[in-house]
Amino acid sequence: MTKIRLEAILEVIDSVTGGVDYTDRKGIKNTKRTIKSRHANPDVQARVKMMLPLMQNLWKQLPEPVRNAWNLQSKGKPLTGYNLFIMTNYEAVRDGGMLELSRGNGLAKPFNCEASINPSGEISVTFEKDSETAQVSIFIHNKVWKDAGRFIISKFDVAGKAMPVVMAGFDPSGDYNVYVVASNSVMAVSAIVSDSAGCAVRKK
């Protein structure tokens, strides 16, 4: 019996109809006719194409326990934790807004987050945490998304240290958001994390 691959059939359909997108997400196959708009904005299209690698870079810079928590949120849905993260944060990254950096799986998130930057480029961060929280990690997001190499700067496991927590080496004129995420042990091996709490960095 001759076996015909599904992809080959769809390629033929594509050549006839003028465009079909087909995907396979968690074993669920989907097809969708693609329609090219006569009024497509090339500047918008170029920006969208640029955004995808930036979002991929942001995801890769998150610690594994935070990515695992996103994956847990996607269980039973036809998408991955990565897909959910992208869908949730795409517009915020594009517009320089506040991200949902972590979607927790059991811990209370830190609160009363405040951050400021001084003329020397030092960002000072203060926060409070639940008494049952073992550790808190800090993530500084560079809102200038073209600077992908310094998109996220992390400082893990700072709970219990004197406040404020100071991180150096930033552009005093830069535009940053800070996020704090609680974990039930040191971040590298944590099984449970919190939602992220965020605040904009104000200039002194």
Cβ within 8 Å of residue 87, ≥6 positions away = 79
pLDDT in tens, the chain (204 residues): 444 444 443 443 344 344 445 455 555 555 555 545 555 556 556 666 777 888 888 899 999 999 999 999 988 888 899 999 999 998 888 888 899 999 999 899 999 999 999 999 999 999 999 887 889 999 998 877 555 556 788 999 998 778 999 999 999 998 999 999 999 999 999 999 999 999 999 998
Q: What is the pLDDT of residue 51?
A: 76
Q: What is the pLDDT of residue 16?
A: 39
